Amino acid sequence: MRLPWMSRAERRLWASARDGAELGALMARWLEGDLASRPGYAARFGPDEETADLVPALAGLCRTGWVTTMSQPGVAGPGADGLWWEQRAAVEGWLSRTDLLEPLMRAADRAGLLTSVTDHDYGTWDGPITVTRRDGHAYTTMGGWMSRRDLARQWPELHRGLVRQITGGVHLAVAAPEYGEDGQRMWDVLAGAVRTEVAR
């Protein structure tokens, strides 16, 4: 039986994070199954089953400075409702290292990926990206504007100082242009961009 709340030990651990590097390391541990819970997500549940193959890429991004909060693989096929569902490979989250924005955008542009950037300090943002279609109609999006209050609600267990960093920072969403498995190429593009930047 899963208890409907985060353990005290893990609550203290998340509350101890003071910067993006510490938060990213904790998110990577949750993705990899080393932590049972994460803020803003159902307690004692790990990533969705469809995310399993993405864990190495997502954990690497989190540890490097892109704290991912939502992601999905590129898939297409019939859903439980009998209709045709299509997903773009996509990911979004907070850039705790803003120096990653330029290389990620450059790599995304070269690969023809779709991007949406929100900079809360400067009050600028791009529109959302449709990442899932149901029976040919737009169903879910990533990116686009989210208020500081809504961003703060994603991180209820964090220290207030770190929440202020997140809500005032740069948020990035990237998606493959194509729906289905061909879009899975996106993960190699992003990993390569981050790896090159870290090696410098």
CA atoms within 13 A on the CB side of 131: 27
Mean pLDDT of 182-194: 95
CA dist 154 and 93 (Å) reads 11
- The overall average pLDDT reported for the chain is 93
pLDDT digits (tens, 9 = 90+) for 135-170: 999 999 999 998 899 999 999 999 999 999 999 999
Q: Is residue 185 part of a domain?
A: yes
Give the DSSP H or E segment for 133: strand 129-134
Residue 119, domain extent: 8-199
Q: Residue 4: what pLDDT?
A: 73
Single-letter code of the amino acid located at 42: A
How far is 51 from 117, CA to CA, in rounded Å?
A: 23
Q: Would you say residue 1 lies in a domain? A: no
* pLDDT over 80 (residue 1): no
The count of domains in the chain is 1
Q: Can you tell me whether residue 78 is helix, strand or coil? A: strand
In the chain, % of residues over pLDDT 90: 82
On whether the pTM is more than 0.85, the answer is yes
* Residue carrying the six token digits 């989250």: 93
* Distance from C-alpha of 129 to C-alpha of 57, rounded to nearest angstrom: 21
Specify if 172 maps to a domain: yes
pLDDT band for 42, please (50, 70, 90 cuts).
confident
The pLDDT of 41-60, averaged and rounded, is 90
Q: Rounded CA gap, 7 and 39, in Å?
A: 11
Q: Is 124 left (phi over 0), alpha (psi -120 to 50) or beta?
A: beta
Within a domain: residue 3? no
pLDDT band per the 50, 70, 90 thresholds, residue 199: low
Kindly indicate the confidence band of residue 44, based on its pLDDT and cuts at 50, 70 and 90: confident
First to last CA, the chain: 47
Q: What is the pLDDT of residue 175?
A: 98
- Whether 2 maps to a domain, the answer reads no
Model pLDDT for residues 75-123, shown as the tens digit of each residue: 999 999 999 999 999 999 999 999 999 999 999 999 999 999 999 888 8
Q: Cα separation of 119 and 171, whole Å?
A: 6
Provide the pLDDT for residue 106: 96
Query: What is the H or E stretch that residue 152 is in?
Result: helix 148-153
